[in-house]
Structure 1
Amino acid sequence: MKKFPRILSASAAALMLFGCSANNDSSFESDSAISQTQQTTDVASTAANTGESISDVLPVLSIETKSKDANVLDFINKPVAGHVSEAIASWTPNYKIPPEPYYEDCTITLKDKNGEVTVDSADAKVKVRGNWTTLYDKKPLKIKFNEKQSMLGLNNGAEQKSWLLLAEYKDASMLRNKAALYASREILSEDGLYAADTDFVQVIINGEYLGLYLLSDTLQVSSNRVNITEPKKDYTGTDIGYFMEYDGYFDYEDELHKFTLDLAGNAPLTAFNGSDNGQKMRALPATKMEHKKPVGMTIKSDIYSQEQHDFIENFVNNTYKIMYEAAYHDKAFVFDADYKNISENTKITPQQAVENVVDVQSLVDMYIISELTCDADIYWSSFYMDADFGADGKKKLTFEAPWDFDSSMGNKDRCIDGTGFYASNVVPDVDGGSKFGGYDTINPWLVVLAHQDWYQDMVRKTWTKAYDNGVFERTCKLISDDSTNLTNDFEKNYQKWNNIKNNSDFVNELSEPEKKCKTEKEAADFLLDWLNSRIEFLNEQWHT
């Protein structure tokens, strides 16, 4: 077995033990930082107005609001997601509910890294998007063009109306989403599956510098993104594609676009820790009194009838039951011709029963991505799947479209030394699990097949192929190269926002090594060292 090359700076080797900086003095005065912020804003404003680029190496995206009202920029500064405001109001007396995100009419101009205009004053709407990230000063944004646009050649130059600007506010390296999505595309594209494409851009709004953002695809049904059958408006038949999220926020959706999970009667699962002695765990609350919060399914794609809703709810719940019966009772169950009921079938193997209704390779891919990144939200949200019952659909539950990695890869205290199995194991909730007053839980989709030898054989084969093809080496190189080549762009962003130092909004979420990082370079070195350790651990487990 070849040894994975460790791409490290001179200082990075000690980061896992000692954090990012020996000097963690919080008494440093911020006057100079404030002065630098003002200077950066002034320079950016001048550059925007004269046409001079604010970056030597990055594209520049300019947003101009059509309204010239004095308070027009409230639309990027004040909104907070409604369910987040409701949650805060429930424990905060006299909390004033801020506005929910709303669209503002704008024009968008995009210049590539050579200064060439690739999108010229295109009409669009822009709004804040996200969940808890909408609380931060620098908020992520959604762009919705009136006409489809190609953006910097992302996703093979696909033209789409909707694009995202990710703020990367609580990730001091600003590189976790980009790196994780890069590795995801490398793995998933081998199987014809989707992961968002990304690139950094400097953003100006109404002539003022807004910061460094990660321009990204959205997660949506499209021939260029999640490629499943789209229904025509108001079509009510069930022979369509369904795009869904395993989602702790599902209860905030309207009734047509959410459903609860049965999970084989909330049957217990055996966590996977690399052996057969994993802890027993149920993914859902066993009683109404249990502290654990329920997680259900959100239907993210367009549906227009209760019949469609009930069809996909039944399919997802029965598909999970087929998986569970195969893995835990060694039984094969199959759907009837209408995909309404399931019954035992002794003529096929349990593995075949699963393969009839699940694209198992897609689940293997997503498991590897999840195990590589150790995302703290894996039990709760941003875990996507789809099923296509259109004329050309494969009629299997398929896992793709990985998302939201700003809490992954050591940013939160999950597998902080890079070792141990995580994605199919018992994981703590956002409050730190049962040891810290929260609860422990598990992602049922990632664990239900985890103890099957044939499934683990697929994991080893897929990992070995990706490793030998250089996927993980290139991912590490991306982190190293961006941190080095974009130094000035990162500095401009942090002079504007200063959120590595002024991080009170999220510091309690960060791991101890991450808390000590005082520059983007230190944060990137820690990320790179963590990822190298993680790759080394998984390679020892899986490489054949």
Structure 2
Amino acid sequence: MNKIKKALSVCLSAALLFGCSAKKDTEEKVPVFSESNVSEDLSLPLLSIQTTSQDENVMDFIKKPVAKHVAESMVQWDPSYATTPEPYYESCYVKLSTKDESFSLKPHAAQVKVRGNWTTNYPKKPLRIKFDQKLNLLGLNDGAEFKNWVLLAEYKDGSMLRNKATLYAARQILKEDGLYAADSQLVNVEVNGEYMGVYLLTEQQQAAKNRVNIKPPKKDYKGTDTGYFLEFDGYFVNEEELHKFPLDLNNNAALKPYDGNDGSGRTIKCLSAGGTIKKPLGVTIKSDIYSQEQHDFIENFVNNTYKIMYEAAYNDKAFVFDKDYKNISETTSVTPRQAVEKVVDVQSLIDMYIICELACDADVAWSSFYMDADFSDKGSKKLRFEAPWDFDSAMGNRPRCTDGYGYYAANIVPDPDTEKDTINPWLAVLAYEDWYRDMIKETWTKAYDSGVFEQTCQMIQDDSTNYQADFKENYKKWNNILMNYLFEFELSDKAKKCVNEKEAADYLLNWLQSRIDFLNSEWHK
């Protein structure tokens, strides 16, 4: 018995010693964080990134990369873009803490890279963080845990509050209907001890429980009975073939813009027609798929769903899918409205229309317009609209709807790149249906009366006031509110005149209040 006890004791001691050694080895992998040079006078939470590499050029990962398709378009003006690296992940550790210590995240392993499209061309670049385990940051999204998070640089928005304000309002409206909009919080960011400025910490647009809640396929599953997360995306042509498809928009049928004046006698075709060369319109499949069958299924569903919407609105006809969602045919067994409601979550489209109309986003007919469809057992098997995104050019920052008045989101607007006339077909196609307009008014009235828009304005005012020291430090680092030559051509005259964050926030607040007043005069019941 004593021999057994002795043997067990030796084993236990060895295990404890090995365990301590393993723990020590793990801890030694965490790099020592560089001494912070962030002023103690700042109020926002501090997110610190420390690379595991000590290479002298390691900071290149956050300073040099430009999205490949952006670099390719820039090389015609500046040949140096030919050697610009694409965004790449760098192994890092990330920690995060608030000034009052109400939240603290100890160092966690992550991969960090530059993210985005055109914004990767700016000196202060947006970032994606991919942790090695699911975590929550600052209690965002009711404490839900994820691996993927985003830091938006807000480089061309002098107020740095347009994305935060729009997402705040969207979250209140969409959440009422079980839909998703990203949560967000301003933070200071440092990398290897170097202060990088104020960023908007927010959520990665992805299919996941508590984000875009659809059921994506398990790895290598090839059946069509799964979830699909989609983006109406001007950059879709840059994606691999399996993750993109073009829109035919009911054979490019003409739309009547909604301008509050019966279209003013105008119509518009979204795709190239009559000798007018436009960029192709299409969809990027953002979630995982593993077969051509899945690709073809969702392409067919999206294009036929649009046809059902168009035929209902413009020809007063009801079309429905067969049981396999492959073909559609005309029927008299349901009304045109019912035909639409069979395949579209109309309330989600209403919610997204209100957000887009409120924000007057310059990219509304171009990109960052998301939808999804879930064909799993418990899925709705409807096209659903949610996950609003990318509003740094909205709310009067670009020369669009600068006085806050008039209809915009389902109207003819200039393409942000070519300036040719364009329109968002999903927002415009049902715009003249009386029942659809009634739903808009009901949804707006509910949101207005519950204080959503008043709270959004108050948030802008509070953030600008409370974080002035942080914003001043950010502009001391970048000075892009004055040295705005990289994006000055994108700005409205009023946005150009702002010389500090306070002026930019005041302009944003005044614009938004005017916008709310106009829409309320049109929609409040």
State the partner residue of 1:439. Answer: 420
State the partner residue of 2:182. Answer: 196
Pairing 1:281–2:262 present: no
Q: 2:373 aligns with which of 387, 394, 397?
A: 387
Pairing 1:505–2:486 present: yes
Shift of 1:292: 1.6
Query: Are the equivalent residues in 2 in contact too, given 1:53–1:115 (CA < 8 A)?
Result: no
Letter in 2 for 1:443: N
**Superimposed CA distance per residue, residues 176-207 of structure 1 (whole angstroms, 9 cap, x where no aligned partner):** 00000000000100000000000011111111
Letter in 1 for 2:522: Q
**Superimposed CA distance per residue, residues 272-328 of structure 1 (whole angstroms, 9 cap, x where no aligned partner):** 0113244200111126x5232111000000000000000000000000000000000
Q: 2:454 aligns with which of 453, 473, 479?
A: 473
Question: Counterpart of 2:508 in 1: which secondary structure?
Answer: helix
Please give the alpha-carbon distance, in whole angstroms, between the structure 1 residues aligned to 2:375 and 2:141. Answer: 25
RMSD of Structure 2 on Structure 1 (CA)? 1.5
Letter in 2 for 1:533: S
Q: 1:357 aligns with which of 317, 324, 343?
A: 343
Shift of 1:53: 6.6
State the partner residue of 2:127. Answer: 141
Pairing 1:179–2:179 present: no
Q: How does 1:487-498 map to 2 (within 5 A)?
A: 487-498=468-479
**Superimposed CA distance per residue, residues 493-522 of structure 1 (whole angstroms, 9 cap, x where no aligned partner):** 011111111110001100000000001000
- Cα gap change, 1:124/1:93 in structure 2, threshold over 3 Å: closer, same or farther? closer
State the partner residue of 1:64. Answer: 50
Letter in 2 for 1:481: D
State the partner residue of 1:28. Answer: none
Please give the alpha-carbon distance, in whole angstroms, between the structure 2 residues aligned to 1:215 and 1:67. Answer: 24
Q: 2:325 aligns with which of 327, 332, 339?
A: 339
State the partner residue of 2:518. Answer: 537
Question: Counterpart of 1:243 in 2: which secondary structure?
Answer: strand
Give me the TM-score of the superposition, normalised by structure 1: 0.88
Letter in 1 for 2:504: A
State the partner residue of 1:3. Answer: none
Q: 1:255 aligns with which of 225, 236, 241?
A: 241
Please give the alpha-carbon distance, in whole angstroms, between the structure 2 residues aligned to 1:302 and 1:249. Answer: 18
- Cα gap change, 1:55/1:237 in structure 2, threshold over 3 Å: closer, same or farther? farther
Please give the alpha-carbon distance, in whole angstroms, between the structure 2 residues aligned to 1:349 and 1:311. Answer: 25
Alignment size in residue pairs: 492
Please give the alpha-carbon distance, in whole angstroms, between the structure 2 residues aligned to 1:210 and 1:54. Answer: 15
Question: Counterpart of 1:526 in 2: which secondary structure?
Answer: helix
Query: Are the equivalent residues in 1 in contact too, given 2:134–2:146 (CA < 8 A)?
Result: yes
Query: Are the equivalent residues in 2 in contact too, given 1:165–1:215 (CA < 8 A)?
Result: yes
State the partner residue of 1:267. Answer: 253
State the partner residue of 1:246. Answer: 232
- Cα gap change, 1:227/1:100 in structure 2, threshold over 3 Å: closer, same or farther? same
Query: Are the equivalent residues in 2 in contact too, given 1:246–1:297 (CA < 8 A)?
Result: yes
State the partner residue of 1:25. Answer: none
Question: Counterpart of 2:83 in 1: which secondary structure?
Answer: coil
Q: Which is worse superposed, 203-212 or 309-318? A: 203-212
Question: Counterpart of 2:220 in 1: which secondary structure?
Answer: coil
**Superimposed CA distance per residue, residues 35-82 of structure 1 (whole angstroms, 9 cap, x where no aligned partner):** xxxxxxxxxxxx972798745432111000000111000000000000
Please give the alpha-carbon distance, in whole angstroms, between the structure 2 residues aligned to 1:168 and 1:364. Answer: 27
Pairing 1:378–2:364 present: yes
State the partner residue of 1:302. Answer: 288
Shift of 1:121: 1.1
Q: 1:526 aligns with which of 507, 516, 523?
A: 507
Query: Are the equivalent residues in 2 in contact too, given 1:54–1:60 (CA < 8 A)?
Result: no
- Cα gap change, 1:517/1:416 in structure 2, threshold over 3 Å: closer, same or farther? same
**Superimposed CA distance per residue, residues 336-390 of structure 1 (whole angstroms, 9 cap, x where no aligned partner):** 0000000011121100000000000000000000000000001110000000001
Pairing 1:413–2:399 present: yes
Query: Are the equivalent residues in 2 in contact too, given 1:119–1:149 (CA < 8 A)?
Result: no
Please give the alpha-carbon distance, in whole angstroms, between the structure 1 residues aligned to 2:60 and 2:286. Answer: 28
Q: How does 1:152-167 map to 2 (within 5 A)?
A: 152-167=138-153
Q: Which is worse superposed, 56-65 or 392-401? A: 56-65
Pairing 1:450–2:436 present: no
Question: Counterpart of 2:110 in 1: which secondary structure?
Answer: strand
Q: How does 1:74-93 map to 2 (within 5 A)?
A: 74-92=60-78
- Cα gap change, 1:107/1:421 in structure 2, threshold over 3 Å: closer, same or farther? same
Query: Are the equivalent residues in 2 in contact too, given 1:291–1:439 (CA < 8 A)?
Result: no
Pairing 1:461–2:442 present: yes
Q: Which is worse superposed, 84-93 or 207-216? A: 84-93
Please give the alpha-carbon distance, in whole angstroms, between the structure 1 residues aligned to 2:444 and 2:515. Answer: 13
Q: 2:279 aligns with which of 281, 287, 293?
A: 293
- Cα gap change, 1:94/1:133 in structure 2, threshold over 3 Å: closer, same or farther? closer
Please give the alpha-carbon distance, in whole angstroms, between the structure 2 residues aligned to 1:52 and 1:276. Answer: 55
- Cα gap change, 1:80/1:50 in structure 2, threshold over 3 Å: closer, same or farther? closer
State the partner residue of 2:19. Answer: none
Letter in 1 for 2:326: K
Query: Are the equivalent residues in 2 in contact too, given 1:283–1:441 (CA < 8 A)?
Result: yes
Please give the alpha-carbon distance, in whole angstroms, between the structure 1 residues aligned to 2:76 and 2:271. Answer: 23
State the partner residue of 1:109. Answer: 95
Q: Specify every segment of 5 or more residues in structure 2 that has no aligned partner in the other structure, as ranges.
A: 1-32
Query: Are the equivalent residues in 1 in contact too, given 2:181–2:386 (CA < 8 A)?
Result: yes
**Superimposed CA distance per residue, residues 435-455 of structure 1 (whole angstroms, 9 cap, x where no aligned partner):** xxx310110000000000000
Please give the alpha-carbon distance, in whole angstroms, between the structure 2 residues aligned to 1:217 and 1:410. Answer: 24
- Cα gap change, 1:50/1:81 in structure 2, threshold over 3 Å: closer, same or farther? closer
Query: Are the equivalent residues in 2 in contact too, given 1:332–1:353 (CA < 8 A)?
Result: yes
Q: 1:96 aligns with which of 62, 69, 82?
A: 82
The percent of aligned pairs where both chains have the same amino acid is 65
Pairing 1:131–2:112 present: no
Letter in 1 for 2:458: K
Q: 1:213 aligns with which of 199, 207, 229?
A: 199
- Cα gap change, 1:440/1:463 in structure 2, threshold over 3 Å: closer, same or farther? same
Q: Which is worse superposed, 106-115 or 473-482? A: 106-115
Please give the alpha-carbon distance, in whole angstroms, between the structure 1 residues aligned to 2:37 and 2:99. Answer: 13
Query: Are the equivalent residues in 2 in contact too, given 1:59–1:115 (CA < 8 A)?
Result: no
Query: Are the equivalent residues in 2 in contact too, given 1:109–1:117 (CA < 8 A)?
Result: no
Please give the alpha-carbon distance, in whole angstroms, between the structure 2 residues aligned to 1:60 and 1:93. Answer: 37
Query: Are the equivalent residues in 2 in contact too, given 1:54–1:202 (CA < 8 A)?
Result: no
Please give the alpha-carbon distance, in whole angstroms, between the structure 1 residues aligned to 2:288 and 2:312. Answer: 32
Query: Are the equivalent residues in 1 in contact too, given 2:366–2:416 (CA < 8 A)?
Result: no
Query: Are the equivalent residues in 1 in contact too, given 2:232–2:284 (CA < 8 A)?
Result: yes
Please give the alpha-carbon distance, in whole angstroms, between the structure 1 residues aligned to 2:102 and 2:53. Answer: 27
Q: How does 1:314-333 map to 2 (within 5 A)?
A: 314-333=300-319
Larger Rg: 2
Q: Specify every segment of 5 or more residues in structure 1 that has no aligned partner in the other structure, as ranges.
A: 1-46
Letter in 1 for 2:273: A
Letter in 2 for 1:282: K
Question: Counterpart of 1:320 in 2: which secondary structure?
Answer: helix
Shift of 1:216: 0.3
